[in-house]
């Protein structure tokens, strides 16, 4: 009895599956037209972009047509800066190596600081700060207020500046000392014309035409002694003084032009 029922069930199931297959054969499958159109549009847009990309980049990434150099131009000429940058200006707008270009401009003797920026579509703007020479350094260079030593091509226009000398790695110390000495003695109506720091750290200066030896220690204290001596004994005979030595504990020696 059980086997007959199972056989009847199998026959019924086969008939049902057969009927389902017959219905599937008669059904028409729908095509996703919207998805196909979307993919077609994306492909078309990608093809257009690939086609116009070189032209678009040529338009956006243009050659540099103008260089603006902004500064006070006391000692520099704009053409000098542009000449240094010329090898880099063959590159287009976005390919400019601003870091390397800045280093090249900073290597120019008169340039203290510089910044570069691009201005679309084809302009390079260069802002630079020139050095301000305060004194001559040794016989072949100049020194600025920060103690930076630089060597321009010609020193003829700066022959009347004071002269500083010493080890170049001490240039900042020497400049600071020069500014301090100058400020202290300026009320006397005289000026520091020359300042030297020896290899033994001894300070020597020329005030107007007079050589002044301060030695190594207590420089400002000895300079104050010089001021007191000037007011007490030297003011009226300043032109007759040749040399002053302040390396004594509480005094000074004066050498005169005439005995």
Q: Inform me whether the pLDDT recorded for 11 exceeds 80.
A: no
Q: Give the separation between CA 138 and CA 73, rounded to whole angstroms.
A: 25
Mean pLDDT (the chain) is: 85
Q: Do domains 66-130 and 133-256 have the same CATH topology?
A: no
From residue 127, alpha-carbon distances to 112, 115, 118, 230 in Å are 11, 5, 12, 47
pLDDT, one tens digit per residue, over 93-149 is 999 999 999 999 999 999 999 999 999 999 999 999 999 999 999 999 999 999 999
Domain ranges of the chain: 66-130, 133-256
Burial (CB count within 10 angstroms: exposed 0-12, middle 13-18, buried 19+), residue 41? exposed
Report pTM.
Answer: 0.75
For 133-256, CATH gives: 3.40.50.11690
pLDDT at 82: 93
| Phi and psi torsions of 220, nearest 5° | -70, -35
pLDDT, one tens digit per residue, over 59-92 is 578 899 999 999 999 999 989 999 999 999 999 9
Homologous superfamily in CATH for domain 66-130: membrane protein fhac (3.10.20.310)
Strand order in the sheet with 111-119: 66-70, 123-130, 111-119
Q: Give the separation between CA 104 and CA 80, rounded to whole angstroms.
A: 12
pLDDT at 60: 76
pLDDT at 32: 63
Q: Inform me whether the pLDDT recorded for 42 exceeds 80.
A: no
């Amino acid at each position: 009895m059980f086997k007959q029922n199972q056989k009847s069930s199998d026959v019924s199931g086969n008939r049902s599956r057969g009927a389902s297959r017959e219905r599937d054969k008669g059904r028409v499958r729908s095509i996703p037209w919207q998805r196909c159109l979307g993919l077609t549009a994306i492909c078309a847009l990608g093809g257009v972009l690939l086609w116009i990309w070189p032209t678009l980049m040529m338009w956006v990434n243009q050659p540099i047509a103008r260089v603006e150099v902004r500064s006070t131009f006391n000692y520099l000429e704009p053409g000098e800066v542009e000449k240094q940058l010329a090898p880099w200006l063959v590159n287009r707008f976005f390919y400019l190596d601003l870091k390397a270009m800045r280093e090249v401009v900073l290597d120019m003797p008169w340039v203290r600081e510089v910044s570069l920026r691009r201005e679309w579509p084809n302009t390079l703007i260069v802002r630079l700060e020139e050095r301000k020479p305060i004194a001559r350094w040794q016989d072949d260079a100049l020194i600025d207020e920060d103690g930076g030593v630089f060597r321009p091509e010609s020193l003829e226009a700066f022959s009347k500046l004071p002269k500083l000398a010493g080890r170049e790695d001490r240039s900042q110390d020497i400049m600071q000392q020069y500014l301090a000495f100058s400020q202290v003695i300026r009320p006397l109506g005289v000026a520091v014309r020359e300042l030297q720091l020896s290899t033994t750290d001894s300070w020597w200066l020329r005030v107007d035409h007079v050589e002044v030896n301060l030695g190594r220690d207590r420089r400002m204290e000895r300079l104050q002694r010089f001021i007191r001596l000037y007011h007490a004994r030297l003011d009226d005979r300043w032109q007759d003084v040749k040399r002053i030595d302040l390396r004594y504990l509480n005094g000074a020696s004066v050498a005169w032009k005439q005995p």
